[in-house]
């Protein structure tokens, strides 16, 4: 069949182009690679309809799958005709179009309610989600609505959380997590992630980290899991030892007595070192390699630090207050940041002599509160904003792949979970889980 003709639901008058659909997807998602003539005014939705028709041919059952389309490595976000014109691609030759599964959540879990704003979330461990809340408690969630542990002890709102080590704990090994708070401290907690119980367990921290003299805004762990760093309103970054001694005091809710004054040993520790240079609040820290960490600040700068030397090896300025920062993408080298305007910016520090972003995404309508790269993709990241929306991005197009609209107030935090879910928390006191996102 050298030239099958497919109409789609369009007028006959539309100009036609010869295309061949190709994919890296495995069967049953491989369509015939025969060239076919299709109307040039089709958008990705029309293209998706055609590919689904090709895939279901000869099959008794077929569940329609949404697809996205790449031409010369760029996602199509307009009609074929407009795309070819914009890119100067000839419509006379056979056009090769690659299709991939659309990156969008196919399922929304029931929201997990908290007692106050959900200000922080970490989904880096596939066994649980860690959240921080303005009620001063951290929480461990095994699934939507299933809170297994409550981390109690902070006297102010929690602003940031992170899984310290191990990222995936072997059975029987305690999981360590860290929380940062407006009470000027950080706390470290231990729990068994494999423990199954119908009762909520309340945990006290095994270590309290003192040293900041203002609200602690961000916490991150190094890959080795033996150190954490924190950024604060005191303009400083502090480095702390994460390994600890005693386990926390675990008390079952039912067994807890009102007059019990059980005081387990809580180690109080000071910072090992501090990194000085920022002149305003250090709003975000990430620690992607043991020897290198990054920080963002309300002083409009992003810095890369040599941990051993205690000095910054990169100092980039942008025009805005920066709220959030993450490092990932190609070569785990791209810096994504958001702040006091609706634009998500991405820099490539490997390109010398320029401080200009290599990508700018501007679909949000308010401040950006969180951004996070997908761990296994060069192209994908998620952002959250005070506009109440979470957006999924692909560097190959300027438009969001998906807009998640499950919150009804500011979204304060977002992360990936298990590689195929997006978790987010907001001022509506909800943890939302948007699942079945096909990134890879």
Closest CA to 158 of 174, 137, 144, 140: 137
Average pLDDT of the residues in 222-242: 96
Bridge pairing between strands 411-417 and 74-75: unpaired
Whole-angstrom distance, CA of residue 343 vs CA of residue 320? 10
pLDDT, tens digit, 9 for 90 and up, residues 31-47 = 999 999 999 999 999 99
Residue that the structure tokens 């689904």 belong to: 52
Bridge partners, 95 (sequence order): 19
**DSSP structure string for 222-233:** -TTSSEEEEEET
Terminal Cα-to-Cα distance of the chain (whole angstroms)? 32
Q: What is the pLDDT of residue 91?
A: 85
For residue 225, the model assigns a pLDDT of 93
The number of beta carbons lying within 10 Å of the beta carbon of residue 152 is 18
Both tokens of residue 320? 């805005």
Does residue 410 contact residue 365 with C-beta atoms inside 8 Å?
no
pLDDT tens, position by position, 262-287? 445 789 999 999 999 999 999 999 99
Q: Do 389 and 403 touch, CB atoms closer than 8 A?
A: yes
The total of other beta-carbon atoms located within 10 Å of residue 255's CB is 8
Q: Tens of pLDDT along 115-131?
A: 999 999 999 999 999 99
Q: In the prediction, which pLDDT does 95 show?
A: 95
pLDDT score for 171: 66
Question: Rounded to an integer, what distance in angstroms lies between the CA atom of residue 141 and that of residue 149?
Answer: 7
Query: Given this structure, which CATH class describes domain 107-243+264-435?
Result: mainly beta
Average pLDDT over residues 389-406: 96
| Assigned CATH for 16-101 | 3.10.20.90
Q: Are the C-beta atoms of residues 162 and 221 closer than 8 Å to each other?
A: yes
Peptide bond into 28 cis (omega under 30): yes
- Do 186 and 145 contact (CB within 8 A), yes or no? no
Give the pLDDT band (50/70/90) at residue 248. very low
Does residue 245 surpass a pLDDT of 90?
no
- Within a 10 A sphere around the Cβ of 147, how many other Cβ atoms? 20
Structural domain spans, the chain: 16-101, 107-243+264-435
Task: Tokens for 66, please give them.
Answer: 């949404």
DSSP run (H or E) holding 84: helix 80-87
Does the pLDDT value for residue 288 go beyond 60? yes
Residue 92 has a pLDDT of 87
Between CA 203 and CA 154 the distance in angstroms is: 12
Using alpha carbons, list the distances in angstroms from residue 188 to 150, 178, 185, 208, 234.
Answer: 13, 5, 10, 7, 21
In the predicted model, is pLDDT for residue 386 greater than 80? yes
Burial status of residue 141 (CB atoms within 10 A of its CB: 0-12, 13-18, 19 or more): buried
Strand order in the sheet with 273-275: 216-221, 227-232, 237-241, 273-275
Whole-number pLDDT of residue 198:
81
Average pLDDT over residues 186-209: 92
What pLDDT was estimated at residue 244? 58
- Provide the greatest CA pair distance for the chain: 83
What is the chain's mean pLDDT, rounded? 90
**Which DSSP helix (H) or strand (E) runs through 117?**
none
Instruction: Compute CA 243 distance to the chain's CA centroid, rounded to the nearest angstrom.
Output: 26
How distant, in Å, are the alpha carbons of 57, 134, 252, 262, 277 from that of 257?
66, 26, 10, 10, 48
Least confident of 255-259, 261-265, 276-280, 411-415: 255-259
Are 318 and 302 spatial neighbours (Cβ–Cβ below 8 Å)?
yes
């Amino acid at each position: 069949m050298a030239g099958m003709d497919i109409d789609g639901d369009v007028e006959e008058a539309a100009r036609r182009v010869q295309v061949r659909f190709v994919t890296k997807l495995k069967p049953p998602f491989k369509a015939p690679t025969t060239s076919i003539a299709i109307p040039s005014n089709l958008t990705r939705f029309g293209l998706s309809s055609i590919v689904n028709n090709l895939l279901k041919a000869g099959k008794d059952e077929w569940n329609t799958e949404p697809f996205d389309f790449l031409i010369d490595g760029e996602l199509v976000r307009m009609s074929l005709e407009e795309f070819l014109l914009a890119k100067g691609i000839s419509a006379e030759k056979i056009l090769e179009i690659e299709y991939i599964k659309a990156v969008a959540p196919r399922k929304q879990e029931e929201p997990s309610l908290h007692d106050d704003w959900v200000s922080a979330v970490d989904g880096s461990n596939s066994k649980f989600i860690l959240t921080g809340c303005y009620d001063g408690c951290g929480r461990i969630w095994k699934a939507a609505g299933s809170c297994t542990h409550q981390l109690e002890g902070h006297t102010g709102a929690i602003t940031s959380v992170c899984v310290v080590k191990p990222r995936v704990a072997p059975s029987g090994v305690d999981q360590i997590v860290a929380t940062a708070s407006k009470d000027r401290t950080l706390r470290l907690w231990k729990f068994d992630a494999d423990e199954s119980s119908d009762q909520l367990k309340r945990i006290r921290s095994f270590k309290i980290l003192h040293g900041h003299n203002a609200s602690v805004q961000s916490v991150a762990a190094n890959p080795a899991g033996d150190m954490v760093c924190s950024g604060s309103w005191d303009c400083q970054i502090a480095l702390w030892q994460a390994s600890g001694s005693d386990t926390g005091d675990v008390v079952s809710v039912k067994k807890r007595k009102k007059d019990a004054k059980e005081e387990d040993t809580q180690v109080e520790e000071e910072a090992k070192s501090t990194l000085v240079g920022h002149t305003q609040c250090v709003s975000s820290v990430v620690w992607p390699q043991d020897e290198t960490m990054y920080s963002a600040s309300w002083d409009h700068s992003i810095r890369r630090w040599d941990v051993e030397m205690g000095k910054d090896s990169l100092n980039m300025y942008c025009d805005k207050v920066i709220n959030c920062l993450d490092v990932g993408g190609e070569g785990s080298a791209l810096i994504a940041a958001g702040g006091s305007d609706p634009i998500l910016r991405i820099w490539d520090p490997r390109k010398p002599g320029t401080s200009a972003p290599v990508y700018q995404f501007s679909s949000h309508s308010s401040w950006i509160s969180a951004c996070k790269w997908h761990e296994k993709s060069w192209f994908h990241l998620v952002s959250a904003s005070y506009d109440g929306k979470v957006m999924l991005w692909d560097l190959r197009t300027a438009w969001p792949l998906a807009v998640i609209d499950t919150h009804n107030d500011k979204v304060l935090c977002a992360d990936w979970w298990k590689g195929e879910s997006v978790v987010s928390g907001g001022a509506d006191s909800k943890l939302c889980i948007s699942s079945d996102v096909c990134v890879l």
